[in-house]
């Protein structure tokens, strides 16, 4: 096990040895309902939607994952960039999300299909309890940076998230976005 200290920034995380995972539109095109728009964008480029900076870099089961995600600002049709979203399983543990910069929402869904949403912005902490799948959506106009902390002993379950499909964006947020424009 390796102890560390770092400023809460991407640059500091990289200096501390963080692993970086990049997610592009071509990897996540099924998240977006406007297929024509997905194809139109991909004809010209494959934009990076988000990057995850993972600390500690080689976690053991007894560690915590203390990751910074940078979710870029942008839309695919009417839907803002969002993370893939997943459940935790074996064990089905909780997760803390702390906004660092920008603004967005933490969209939660449990296995019964119930939905909740919480803010992701500087100065706010939101908590996804065990049993709640989680996706972050950037509803703002700048990149959204957030810290997510969970137990490294869980397995990511992306399949259940795909089956339940969250709601890609709650209606009230669609209104909020057009009101901002
Ligand atoms: O631990 C988390 O839940 C986050 O660090 C996410 O993994 C990150 O935001 C990327 O989301 P996803 O794993 O759904 O692609
Ligand atoms: Mn998680």
Residue extents of the structural domains in the chain: 10-180
**Between these two residues, 151 and 180, which has the higher pLDDT value?**
151
Residue 79 burial (CB count, 10 A): 18
* Protein residues whose CB sits closer than 6 Å to any atom of ligand 1: 52, 65, 67, 69, 83-86, 95, 136, 148, 150
Q: What are phi and psi of 107, to 5 degrees?
A: -100, 125
* Res 165: pLDDT: 81
> Chain-wide mean pLDDT for the chain?
91
Q: What angle (nearest 5°) sits at the alpha carbon of residue 78, between those of residues 110 and 142?
A: 85
> Residues of the chain with pLDDT > 70: what percent?
91
- DSSP annotation of 81: P
**156 CA to middle of ligand 2, Å?**
7
Peptide bond into 133 cis (omega under 30): no
* Res 1: pLDDT: 52
* For residues 163-169, average pLDDT: 70
pLDDT digits (tens, 9 = 90+) for 69-81: 999 999 999 999 9
Topology given in CATH for the domain delimited by 10-180: Jelly Rolls (2.60.120)
* Res 167: pLDDT: 64
**119 CA to middle of ligand 1, Å?**
16
Given pLDDT bands bounded at 50, 70 and 90, which one contains residue 163? confident
């Amino acid at each position: 096990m390796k102890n560390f200290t770092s400023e809460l920034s991407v640059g500091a995380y990289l200096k501390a040895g963080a692993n970086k995972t990049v997610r592009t539109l071509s990897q996540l095109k099924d998240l977006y309902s406007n297929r024509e728009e997905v194809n139109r964008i991909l004809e010209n480029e494959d934009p990076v939607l988000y990057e995850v900076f993972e600390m500690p870099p080689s976690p053991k089961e007894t560690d915590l994952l203390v990751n910074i995600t940078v979710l870029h600002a942008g839309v695919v049709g009417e839907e803002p960039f969002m993370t893939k979203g997943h459940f935790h399983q074996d064990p089905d543990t909780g997760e803390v999300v702390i906004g660092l910069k920008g603004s967005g929402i933490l969209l939660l869904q449990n296995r019964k299909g119930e939905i909740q949403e919480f803010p992701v912005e500087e100065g706010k902490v939101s908590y996804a309890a065990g049993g709640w799948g989680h996706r972050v959506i950037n509803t703002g106009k700048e990149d959204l940076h957030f810290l997510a902390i969970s137990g490294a002993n869980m397995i990511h379950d992306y399949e259940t998230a795909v089956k339940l499909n969250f709601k890609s964006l709650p209606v009230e947020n669609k209104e909020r976005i057009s009101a901002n424009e």
